[in-house]
Amino acid sequence: MPVNVYEPAKLQPGTLRVIPIGGLGEIGRNMTSYEIDGKILIVDCGVLFPEETQPGVDLILPDFSPIRDRLDDVIGVVLTHGHEDHIGAVPYLLRLRQDIPLIGSTLTLALVEAKLKEHRITPYSLTVKEGQHEKLGPFDLEFIAVNHSIPDALAVAITTAAGVVLHTGDFKMDQLPLDDRITDLRAFARLGEKGVDLFLPDSTNADVPGFTALEREIGPVLESVIAKAPRRVIVASFSSHVHRVQQVLDAAVANDRKVVLMGRSMVRNMGIAADLGYLKVPDGVLIEAKKAADMPDNKLVYMSTGSQGEPMAVLARMANLEHQIEVGKGDTVILASSLIPGNENAVYRVINGLTKLGANVVHKANAKVHVSGHAAAGELLYCYNILKPKNVLPVHGEYRHLVANANLAIATGVPEENTIIGEDGTVIDLRDGIATVVGQLDLGYVYVDGSSVGEITDADLKDRRILAEEGFISIFVAIDMQTGRVIVGPEIQARGFAEDEDVFDDVKPQILKAVADAAANGTRDTHAFAQVIRRTVGRWVNTQHRRRPMIIPVVIEA
C-alpha cells in the first residue's frame, strides 16, 4: 500500500523516538533505532534475502538514511541473536563507522565477528548474558534470556527517562528446550510489575493458533527417517541452526553414520558453536568430504545449506547436477526448516528437481522434521497478560502478521488506539507512557549486487526482469542530420525474442516512415530520433506479438 510520507517534528528533550528501519512488512532486515537526548541505540541490523523478482541481487540491506548523518551519535548496536536477518547487515553499517560498539551474547558476537573478519573489520564488542545490566549513555539495558532456534538469544529491556521498552527479538516459549534455557517469564513478570510503556514483540507466528511444538519432538523423527534411508541422507537447514545440527549429529550416531558438513557458512558457524560448547560433537562423527568418498552410502549423512532454495547454496546445486554429490535413486533429502514467505517457488523447484533425480524428499509438509523458532498466538497471549503493556508496536513480520499480533494485544485489553501497525520508517515518539506516531520516512531497499552496495535501483531490477522475460531488440540507424535522411539501416538485432530475424522486415518500413515524418517536422536531434524509433518498434511488437521487450535504439549522425 502507498506510504503517506511526512517528516516528524524536532525531537523534544526527554522523549524517546523509535524508528523501525527494517523488519516491518517483511521477514528480514530487522533493525530498530532508539533515540533520546541526542543519543541513538540500535537493536539488530539484519539482511533480507532476495526473491525471484530481484535477479542478480545478493542481499538486501536496511536503508540507513535515518542514521547515516548521525553515526557519531550512535552509542551501540544491540544484537538479539545470531541469525542473518538480525546480524547480516552489521558489516555494511560498520563500513560507515567501524568503532560503533556491538553488544550481544557470546555466540551472537562470535558469529558476527567471523563475518566481520571476512570484511577485514575488527569490531569493538561487549559480551553480555541474561540478567546483566548495562548503561549506555541515557539507556539502561537489561538482557533477558529468550528461547529461539539458535542458542544464546536475548530480549532487551530499554529504560530511559521516557519510559520502559521491551524488545523481544525472535523468541518462543519452548518449555523443554534442547539446551534447557527457557524464555525468562519471571523477568517478563518483573518488568510487567514495573510497567512496560512500549512492547515490541516478534510477530512471525502471530497468526498461528496455539503453541509452537517442542524442539525435542524433532529428534526422534529425524532418527526414524535416517534409520529407514537405504542410501545417503542429505539434511538441509539454516547454517546457524545449532539445535537442528545437534539433532542430526545425534540421529547419525544412533544409526552408525558419519556426518559431513557442507557449505562454507555451515562449516564456519558449526565450528564456532562447537568451540564455544553450544554444539556437542560426539567423537568421530564428523568427517571431511574427501574421506566420505571412500565410505558406503548407507553410512553417510550430509548436513548442508540451501533449505530456502537459494540458487547458489549446496542443495540447489545438487538438484541442478552442479555439485560433486550426485543425488540419485535411494537417496533421502530432508528439508529441516520452515519456508520463509517469498521463497516457496524456489524451494518447490528444488524439491521437484531432487524428486526427478530419484530422491525421497522429506519436508515439513509430509513429516515433522521442523518446528518454528517463533512464538505462536497462545504464547504471545501469555506475554501480553504477564506484561500488560501500555502500548504495542508489533515487529518482525509481514503485514498480516503485524495485524494478527495487534489483534492479540487488543484481545488482552490493550486499547486499540495504543496498538501501532507500523511500517519501515514509521516514527513513534514515547513520552509519559503515551506512544504517538509523529512521522513516516520514505525508506527503500538497499541492494547488494556483487561488490556494489546501493547502486542497483528498482528501475535496474525492472530492466533485468524485462530482459529475462521478454528479451531485447536493438535498432541501429545512421541519419544525415542536415536532411533527416536515413543513410544506414535500420539494422535490427534481437535476443530472447524471435529466432527468425525476417520477422522484422514488417517493421523496417514503419521505422523509415516514422524517421522521415519526424525529419519533415524539423527533428534534427539523435535522442529525439531514438525516441521516435523506440515508440514505433514498441507499438509494432506489442500489437503484432503481444510482447514488451527492452527496445534499444542507437542513432548516430552520418
Q: Coil, strand, or helix at residue 192?
A: helix
Pairing of strands 163-167, 154-160: antiparallel
User: What confidence score (pLDDT) does residue 1 get?
Assistant: 47
Strand ranges of the sheet holding 133-136, from the earlier edge strand across to the other edge: 133-136, 139-145, 154-160, 163-167, 198-200
What does each C-alpha distance from 134 to 103, 140, 554 come to in angstroms?
10, 6, 63
Q: Coil, strand, or helix at residue 378?
A: helix
| 483 sits in which H/E element | none
Query: How many Cα neighbours within 13 Å face the side chain of 500?
Result: 4
User: What confidence score (pLDDT) does residue 426 get?
Assistant: 96
Sign of CA dihedral 345, 350, 356, 360: negative
Pairing of strands 198-200, 154-160: unpaired
User: What confidence score (pLDDT) does residue 531 get?
Assistant: 83
User: What confidence score (pLDDT) does residue 308 get?
Assistant: 67
Domains along the sequence of the chain with CATH: 16-210+372-446 (3.60.15.10), 215-362 (3.40.50.10710), 458-557 (3.10.20.580)
In 367-433, where do the E strands start and end? Answer: 426-431
Beta-carbon contacts of residue 211 (< 8 Å; ≥ 6 apart): 173, 376, 378, 379
What are the per-10-residue average pLDDT scores of the chain (558 residues)?
Answer: 79 95 91 96 89 65 92 96 93 94 96 91 94 96 95 96 96 92 96 96 95 90 91 86 91 93 89 93 89 87 75 74 82 79 73 86 78 93 96 95 96 96 95 94 80 62 60 79 75 70 77 78 78 82 76 78
Q: How far apart are CA 497 and CA 265, in angstroms?
A: 39
Q: How far apart are CA 109 and CA 120, in angstroms?
A: 16
User: What confidence score (pLDDT) does residue 109 get?
Assistant: 96
User: What confidence score (pLDDT) does residue 522 get?
Assistant: 74
Q: What is the DSSP letter of 298?
A: G
Q: What is the DSSP letter of 295?
A: S
User: What confidence score (pLDDT) does residue 492 get?
Assistant: 79
Query: How many Cα neighbours within 13 Å face the side chain of 554?
Result: 9
User: What confidence score (pLDDT) does residue 80 get?
Assistant: 97
pTM of the model: 0.81
Query: How many Cα neighbours within 13 Å face the side chain of 477?
Result: 29
Nearest to 33 by CA among 3, 87, 73, 82: 73
Q: How far apart are CA 26 and CA 204, in angstroms?
A: 9
CB 273 within 8 A of CB 286: no
| 116 sits in which H/E element | helix 106-118
Strand ranges of the sheet holding 446-449, from the earlier edge strand across to the other edge: 59-61, 446-449, 452-453
C-alpha cell at 179: 539446551
What does each C-alpha distance from 468 to 236, 247, 312, 461, 548 come to in angstroms?
29, 41, 18, 10, 11
* Chain centroid offset of residue 97 CA: 23
